[in-house]
Chains A and B, each alone.
Chain A
Amino acid sequence: MVSAAFAFLLLSGFVFAAVNGTMAEVNEALFQSMEQSVQLALSLGGVILFWTGVMKTAEAAGLVRSLAAIVQPLLSRLFPEIPHGHPVFGFIASNMAANFFGLGNAATPIGLKTMRELRRLNEDRDTASRSMITFLALNTAGVTLIPTTVIALGISHGAENPADIIMPAFLATILSACFAIIIDRYYAHRRNR
């Protein structure tokens, strides 16, 4: 899928340049991009390193665990299939908390463990269970407190207020997560009929 997206962008660009007579611009942009991408990578580096440091400290100070403890009681309503008090609730809460703090490296292994556990609960079938779909709806909605790389990009371009996108981005991500839960419910209801 990523290959298809890459090929589409590149090849449609070349075809368009051939038809439109913009091949000189394309050639220049191609080599410019290689220089720009390394500059971009360098300017992103500082923010990513620093912020991962802060968020790992939050984890060491128990903040991720506290958030997971707050979320956990709400989860039994979202995942009615999972038996009460099952340890997988803890995994789901930890995954959500780690994602919230932008700790993708910590969130993914817990998420994978969650999926294997959910499969066991679903008698090892190779069909996605309702719980899995709900769990992934929450994950793909991408609820994050601080969109670090986007802010870093703003900083590198000299934005006046690079952090001012935090609030609107947070609002949009919360709304889309709520919407994801609602349509997840709707589809689950339709499947059961």
Chain B
Amino acid sequence: MAAWLIPLIIAVVIAAGLYREVNIYTALTDGAKEGMQTWAAIVPHLVIMMAAVAVFRASGAADWIAGLLQPVTSLVGIPPEVVPLAIIRPISGSATLAMLDQIMREFGPDSYIAKLAAVMQGSTDTTLYVLAIYFGAAGIKKTGDALKIGLLADAAAFIAAVFAVAWLL
């Protein structure tokens, strides 16, 4: 099922492009060029954040915090190994991408913990960053309930991820 999804999306996009008489090759390469800018913008964040995440994990601090939180997280059914990712996710997407990389390295990319962490990362956004940019650009100083709602929705996504992985994987 999942193996069909990406080829299907690509086929639909290309067919729609041909139908609307878009120069698809130029559109693809122009888009890839834009992707290159996105990519280049991510790399410095990734290198810097990965160093901090590597120190955090190698020191044993990550395991210690996970152990501390185990009694609480086991109530909701979230493995403690993904808790640091859940906490940092609304603040920095690069840091959690680095954490996900470390989790895949340690537990294997097909392990339950890696899959759950991947779904948690993929179903949420960097809430604080989004709010800072959008409110900043509009010059809004009193931001009301936006942060509360964003963070609660992130928490909901993490819990939904546990059930979605159990149900669909």
Contact = CB atoms under 8 A, between A and B. Distances in A.
Contact of B52 (A9, A28, A45, A49): A9
Interface string B1-37: 1110110011011101101101010011111101111
Interface of A: 1-2, 4-6, 9-10, 12-14, 16-17, 20, 22, 25-26, 28-30, 32-34, 36-38, 40-41, 44-45, 48-58, 60-63, 104-105, 108, 111-112, 115-116, 118-119, 126-128, 132-133, 136-137, 139-142, 144-147, 149-151, 153-154, 157-173, 175-177, 179-180, 183-184, 187, 191
A175 B160 contact: yes
A159 B29 contact: no
B73 interface: no
Interface of B is mostly: helix
Top-10 shortest CB links A-B: A56-B31, A52-B35, A147-B122, A142-B125, A29-B58, A33-B54, A176-B157, A13-B55, A168-B164, A159-B109
A111 to B, nearest CB: 6
Interface of B: 1-3, 5-6, 9-10, 12-14, 16-17, 19-20, 22, 24, 27-32, 34-39, 42-43, 46-61, 64, 88, 91-92, 95, 97-98, 100-101, 104-105, 108-110, 114-115, 118-125, 127-135, 137-146, 148-150, 152-154, 156-157, 160-161, 164-165, 167-169
Contacts of B13: 54-55, 57-58, 61, 63
B122 to A, nearest CB: 3
